[in-house]
């Protein structure tokens, strides 16, 4: 389990390429580091190297959905939401989600909506 492993996150490594097989993916980084695993999750944005390696350099297309995110300190004004735990509210073309983080000291808030442009 990596939950308490200080070496499970490697900072200051720039992705350069990947090799994918039927059962694994190998990520190569600029300074020579190589990592193999069951999956590669690219969290480096829509104009990033991981996306380009998987999909090519074609520009990302707008889907019509936007997400607004915030981390809010949990004070007494958020007590009602904090005691609910994780909650999701769904409406036509909209979704609102909130859940506590860091032992109820922060509230993660996500709102997703459709926008024409």
Q: Is 31 one of the catalytic residues?
A: no
Q: DSSP string spanning 54-111?
A: HH-SPPP---SEEEEEEEEE--GGGHHHHHH-SEEEEETTEEEEEEEETTTTEEEEEE
Q: Which of 47, 55, 69, 114 is catalytic?
A: 69
Q: Is 99 one of the catalytic residues?
A: yes
Q: How far apart are CA 5 and CA 9, in angstroms?
A: 9
Q: How far apart are CA 107 and CA 71, in angstroms?
A: 6
Q: How far apart are CA 10 and CA 50, in angstroms?
A: 16
Residues assigned a catalytic role: 69, 99
């Amino acid at each position: 389990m990596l939950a308490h492993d200080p070496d499970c996150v490697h900072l200051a490594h720039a992705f350069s390429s990947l090799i994918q097989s039927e059962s694994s993916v190998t990520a190569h980084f600029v300074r020579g580091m190589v990592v193999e695993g069951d999956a590669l999750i690219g969290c480096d944005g829509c104009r990033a190297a991981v996306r380009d390696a998987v999909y090519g350099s074609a520009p990302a297309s707008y889907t019509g959905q936007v997400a607004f995110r915030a981390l809010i300190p949990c004070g007494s004004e958020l007590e009602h939401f904090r005691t609910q735990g994780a909650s999701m509210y769904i409406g036509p073309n909209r979704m609102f989600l909130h859940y506590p983080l860091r032992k109820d000291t922060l509230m993660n808030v996500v709102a997703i909506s459709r926008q024409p442009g």
